[in-house]
Amino acid sequence: MRILYFAWVRERVGRADEDIDPPRSVTTVLELMDWLAGRGEEYAHAFAGRGTIRAAIDHAHVKADAKIAGAREIAFFPPMTGG
Amino acid sequence: MPSVAMTTTTIRLQVEDFDAAGEAAAITRGRTDIGAVVTFAGICRDHEGGACVRAMTLEHYAGMAEAEIASHVEEAVRRWPLVGVTVIHRHGRLVPGDNIVLVVTAAVHRGDAFAAAEFLMDYLKTRAPFWKREETPAGSSWVSAKKTDDVAAARWTRGGRDAAE
């Protein structure tokens, strides 16, 4: 699945997007963040405050307990500050 | 006269500037059934929380931003009898005095136009995937989301909705 990062999440991870293949035990957005956080120092730093990080699956906002099965694109970003 | 079924909606995300008066005129041109047009423009200001702001850069999630704005424009059209809605959001680097966002709502009566414009702005602030990075003399940093914006958006979800209607 394709993962996108925005704003400070992107800066901390050090990339804007990547393709990943998480293990089958990872079923929710929160579990995906836990798994990503274990991929290295920069990921651990980016996802340290995962309580504040928001997520979207295929362009729709989702909560941390959302299932990721079937997702094509999952994005992680800070609370939005547009307008 | 028909109006609800003929709502004209325009949504654009762009780097270029926009002409607020021109966009409002485009909605009313050739029509005589519109009694109210509300035009809101959000502008980049030169200070935030006491600090001087030299510029800001707006990052956005292309694809989702369009979809998210479109869904809220649809929601506004469902809630209020609007004749026209235009939302334009810029991205890229902006300096103080530059336009950031435009919301134009047109209706037969002003109450609907005002309410829909506020609803759209409250939702753009909290749900549209845009992020501001500000440049100040001390360096640049990501703008934190404001609790007051969440409170403003929340009023449209429960009791606030009835009050607004």
Read off the pLDDT of residues B66-86 as tens digits, 9 standing for 90 and up.
999 999 999 999 999 999 999
Give pTM, 2 decimals.
Answer: 0.91
Here the tokens at position B74 are: 């649809």
B163 confidence band (pLDDT: 50, 70, 90): very low
Residue B64 with chain A: CB contacts under 8 Å? 56, 59-60, 75
Residue A44 counted as domain residue: yes
Contacts of A83 in chain B (CB under 8 A): 42, 89, 100-101, 121, 124-125, 128, 130, 149
Residue A45 lies in a domain: yes
Which of A8, A75, A83 minimises the CB distance to B64? A75
A59, burial (CB in 10 Å: exposed 0-12, middle 13-18, buried 19+): middle
Superfamily per CATH, domain B4-164: Molybdopterin biosynthesis MoaE subunit (3.90.1170.40)
Q: Residue A15 has which token pair?
A: 């990339």
Instruction: Give the pLDDT of residue B49.
Output: 83
Domain ranges for chain B, please list them: 4-164
Minimal Cα distance from A83: which residue of B? B125
Cα gap A57→A76, rounded to integer Å: 9
Given a contact cutoff of 8 angstroms between Cβ atoms, the answer to whether B129 and A60 are in contact is: no
pLDDT score, position B159: 53
Mean pLDDT of B21-47: 96
| Spatial CA neighbour of A77 closest among A1, A16, A2 | A16
The total number of residues shown for chain B amounts to 165
Q: How far is B2 from chain A (nearest CA, A)?
A: 31
Q: What's the domain range around A37?
A: 2-77
**Chain A residue with the nearest C-alpha to that of B44:** A83
The pLDDT tens digits for B78-113 are 999 999 999 999 999 999 999 999 999 999 999 999
Please indicate if any CB of chain A lies within 8 Å of the CB of B117: no
Beta carbons of A75 and B58 less than 8 Å apart: no
What DSSP character marks residue A28?
Answer: B
List the single residue in A6, A75, A82 with the smallest CB-CB distance to B128.
A82
The DSSP output letter for B4 is: G
Nearest to B126 among A8, A56, A80 (CB): A80
Does A83 reside within a domain?
A: no
Mutation choice for B interface testing from A3, A58, A76, A81 by most B CBs within 10 A: A81
* A62-68 long-range Cβ contacts below 8 angstroms, 24+ apart: A62/A29, A63/A29, A64/A28, A64/A29, A64/A30, A64/A33, A65/A28, A65/A29, A65/A30, A66/A28, A66/A29, A67/A27, A67/A28, A68/A1, A68/A22, A68/A26, A68/A27, A68/A28, A68/A29, A68/A32
CB atoms within 10 A of CB B130: 27
ipTM confidence score: 0.95
Contacts of A62 in chain B (CB under 8 A): none
Closest in B130, B133, B144 to A82, CB measured: B130
- The domain that contains A39 carries what CATH number? 3.10.20.30
**Alpha-carbon span B140 to B57, nearest angstrom:** 10
What is the total count of domains within chain A?
1
In whole numbers, what is the pLDDT of chain B averaged over residues? 92
- B88 bridge partner residues: B12, B102
